[in-house]
Structure 1
Amino acid sequence: MSYAIIGFGKIGQALAHAFARKNIDVTVASRRPPEALAPQARAIGPKVVARSLRDALEADTVILAVPFGEHREVAKILPSWDGKMVIDAMNLFPGPDEPDGLPGSAVVAKAFTGAKLVKGFNHLGAATLATDPIVAGGHRVVFLSADDEDAIAPVAALAKQLGFTPVKLGKLNEGGALVHARGRTWGPLIFQDLFKKEQ
């Protein structure tokens, strides 16, 4: 399984740190050329490799960490998204909570026709996402939602591999609607994000 993070701002870099911490290969890309990203990618870890946007989209699993308004431009790069896994780690900042009356991920799903789309990794702030998810005797939680229930399993497996505890929240208009951003307030006020096993 190959992975790419599209977008190399705070969230993209935080996700890259999560992959580097577990020694998992990941490609990073943005609108900037790969040579502009390479020094920062190398500083995060040897398994983090900057590539062109087009090359990065060859990965089996693509994590969207671009500003929300840019996702349609990313979607247009490939002629077909059939069979691709797309993880929506974006939030709407700023903007209406529900464009066209839909949660943000439902809008994203329309742009990435044919992809298996899962909402995830979006409710943790960049600083938290970048740090070790194993803390205080527990694991940080990653909430996952998808209209295709089968799509959640490989993303849950990735979350576990990265050290998080995945929690399934149902479909995009159910659990996905709970954790998508509302103004500047979202997941941290709705959920605890640390899972501790009972002793």
Structure 2
Amino acid sequence: MKIGMLGAGEIAQAIARHAIRHGHEVVFSNSRGPASLAPLVEDLGTLAAAATPEEAAAADLVVLAVPWPRIPDAVAGLPRLDGTVVIDATNQFATLSPEPEIADLGDLTGSEYVASLLPGARVVKAFNALYGQFIAADPRHEAGRQVLFLAGDDADAKNSVRDLTSEFGFAPVDLGTLREGGRLMQLGGPVSALHALKQD
């Protein structure tokens, strides 16, 4: 599978390293252009590449992992992603400094807002409820596998994300739709930053 990354920070790199370990190609993109990603791509090896956001979005599956305020700019120039599975790994931090502030979206969940910016895409919320170090680490532990919560409105898209993350070693748990499950997972929700293991 070819996985496109919109963003190249801690979360994107952690997911990418799992993907590369399992033989998937990863195409990184950011707002500064492919040249700025050369050191990262060189470090990750031949299965990693750098490209424009438009090129990354043409992959088999896309991961959105940019800071919340940058989402509109990150997706603004993309073509319609009709049928593309997009993993939304973002959290709605309007600001982080001096104090974290959650963006007010009214009745929308964060992923419903993201989906509204990506018409035609099949958005699956995942990875946002875990701290970066838990995503980067081996999800397999003696006591069990790291639980990964996910939510989405398309069953086939969720199955694709479930299969991929299971391959990585996570224990995916489907919480339902972007509205119900997304509300549980987003900032302030009961499973946000809940790090649990599933015994096999």
Q: TM-score, normalised by structure 2?
A: 0.88
Q: In structure 1, how many angstroms separate the alpha carbons of the residues matched to 2:184 and 2:61?
A: 24
Query: Identity across aligned pairs (percent)?
Result: 37
Of 101, 105, 117, the residue aligned with 2:123 is 117
CA contact (8 A) 1:159 1:165 kept: yes
Matched with 2:197 is 194
1:117: Cα distance to partner?
0.6
The answer to whether the aligner puts 1:27 opposite 2:27 as a matched pair is: yes
Matched with 2:141 is 135
Q: In structure 1, how many angstroms separate the alpha carbons of the residues matched to 2:188 and 2:103?
A: 5
CA contact (8 A) 2:143 2:197 kept: no
Q: In structure 2, how many angstroms separate the alpha carbons of the residues matched to 1:127 and 1:103?
A: 25
Matched with 1:41 is 41
The 3 A distance-change label for structure 1 pair 44 and 82 is: same
CA contact (8 A) 1:18 1:131 kept: no
**CA displacement, residues 25-74 of structure 1 (integer Å, 9 cap, x when unaligned):** 11111112212112122213432222222211111211000111222223
Matched with 2:162 is 156
CA contact (8 A) 2:102 2:187 kept: no
Q: In structure 1, how many angstroms separate the alpha carbons of the residues matched to 2:49 and 2:191?
A: 31
The 3 A distance-change label for structure 1 pair 92 and 196 is: same
Secondary structure of the corresponding residue to residue 99 of structure 1: coil
1:150: Cα distance to partner?
2.6
Secondary structure of the corresponding residue to residue 102 of structure 2: coil
Secondary structure of the corresponding residue to residue 187 of structure 1: coil
Q: In structure 2, how many angstroms separate the alpha carbons of the residues matched to 1:35 and 1:97?
A: 32
1:97: Cα distance to partner?
5.2
1:96: Cα distance to partner?
3.0
Q: In structure 2, how many angstroms separate the alpha carbons of the residues matched to 1:132 and 1:192?
A: 13
Secondary structure of the corresponding residue to residue 117 of structure 1: strand
Which letter does structure 2 place at the counterpart of 1:187? Answer: S
Q: In structure 2, how many angstroms separate the alpha carbons of the residues matched to 1:48 and 1:103?
A: 32
Bigger strand fraction: 2
Q: TM-score, normalised by structure 1?
A: 0.89
1:82: Cα distance to partner?
1.2
Q: In structure 2, how many angstroms separate the alpha carbons of the residues matched to 1:78 and 1:97?
A: 23
Q: Any stretches of 5+ residues in structure 2 without a counterpart?
A: 96-100
1:137: Cα distance to partner?
4.0
1:182: Cα distance to partner?
3.0
Secondary structure of the corresponding residue to residue 40 of structure 1: helix
Which letter does structure 1 place at the counterpart of 2:171? Answer: T
The 3 A distance-change label for structure 1 pair 76 and 130 is: same
Secondary structure of the corresponding residue to residue 49 of structure 2: strand
The number of aligned residues is 194
Which letter does structure 2 place at the counterpart of 1:57? Answer: A
